[in-house]
Structure 1
Amino acid sequence: MARTLPRPRSPLSTVRRWYEEKLGWPTTGTEPVELLTGVRFDVLEMPADAGHAVLRRMPHTGPVALLRPERGGKQAEDRPKLLMLIAAGGAEELPGILEWLEWGTLAADLTAHGAGGRMPAPAIPSKGRASGGCGTREAAGWVRPPQPGYEAENSLPTTGMGTGIGDGGGAPDLVRLVSAAATECHRARLVRARNGQSDRACGAQPLAFSNASRMSAGTRPRSLTL
């Protein structure tokens, strides 16, 4: 009697199992695989040029992914995005933090995904190192990957008592992260405008920095000429 050999697992099935079993993160049943936000983490999203500047300023932020646009995209929303994982519930706090920092609508490029949202599942990192893409379009990869067997939530930016800059395993302060991100989003937009790159999708934006954000980030006022 002929034996029926087990069917090999697809790469998408492997990705889904890694996130669900190794990290305990819920995923969707879609292809390519997506991670559900608002359960174990929320996501802070910003243009990649601004996000990399934030990473240079704040080396302890928790896991970070890079989302690449579809090929052929020409609009402002088709730029690469950096996705920073923050503590669950942080997405709901973003508007209030921006208002408190006196950014208002100045940080239009800074958004968040919380309960009911999702993000593309980056490829499984290779031996803890940053990954390439995942899925049919290879849309996302880890810049700072999560570590299996380690409670990633303990390193996610959050508000409240016990937060700081992330040293010693403590979670970074979400307000500091948002302050730095808003500043760098605005600075990146000014650079793009100076270089003649379009920001039509985001509309007109005043060329000004928030005083509260500069104070929170501990920086001196900067010239708008960059």
Structure 2
Amino acid sequence: MADEDTNQPEVAFKRVMLKISGEALMGDLGYGLHPPTVERIAREVQSVHNLGVEICMVIGGGNIFRGLQGSAQGMERTTADYMGMLATVMNALAMQSALEGLGVFTRVVSAIPMDQVCEPYIRRRAVRHLEKKRVCIFAAGTGNPYFTTDTAATLRASEMRCEAIFKGTKVDGVYDKDPVKFSDAKRYDRVTYDEVLQKHLGVMDASAIALARDNNLPIIVFSLDEPGGFKGILAGQGTYTTVHD
């Protein structure tokens, strides 16, 4: 174990936010949670945690319920968004279970108080968890309708003084068009916040990008499907796109 520690790479960041979609937890399923996929992502988080990096997480809820889709089908938007927030709590609890099964101490912190299930969001307490090397999973978005989990991730990353947001996706960075549909799509190594907004590159929603820009918070977009990708980027390896000024 000692030899493994001495060979650990020097990491670029000491405290980061990992933002993933709820769909990332589905695996090959069309809905819900795929336990082997949840465990695989938990192992990616564990590998970074073992480097001594303090980790925050925000997980979307689209694998269970997406407020915007519910609203489009006639449901009142505020109600639909609150249902989506509850879906993120379910995903956070699933990830907590997987991480703690790997021996990683984890706290789920919810913007909507539900004391029997998880902690309410108190900034100073959450910071203390990170200082004690616990993974903090922030659930229930911002606690307000009309805000996405992208915005929640950027807000919590700013409050926790994270050094970067890691956005795990199905592709290895930001492209000028959908690389799944277009074989000639070109990947950016680096792109500015304003370019993301002007070119509608779809990294995060406009509110999240603007908040990251205002707080000088870089966003690193990488493939969550690449084994070891999260850890590799922290060691300066792998393929990804950095969003920054």
* TM-score bracket for this pair, using the shorter chain length: under 0.3
Q: Work out which of the two has the higher radius of gyration on C-alpha atoms and give 1 or 2.
A: 1
Higher strand proportion, which one?
A: 2
The normalised TM-score by structure 2 is 0.26
Higher helix proportion, which one?
A: 2
Larger relative contact order, structure 1 or 2 (CA cutoff 8 Å, min sep 6): 1
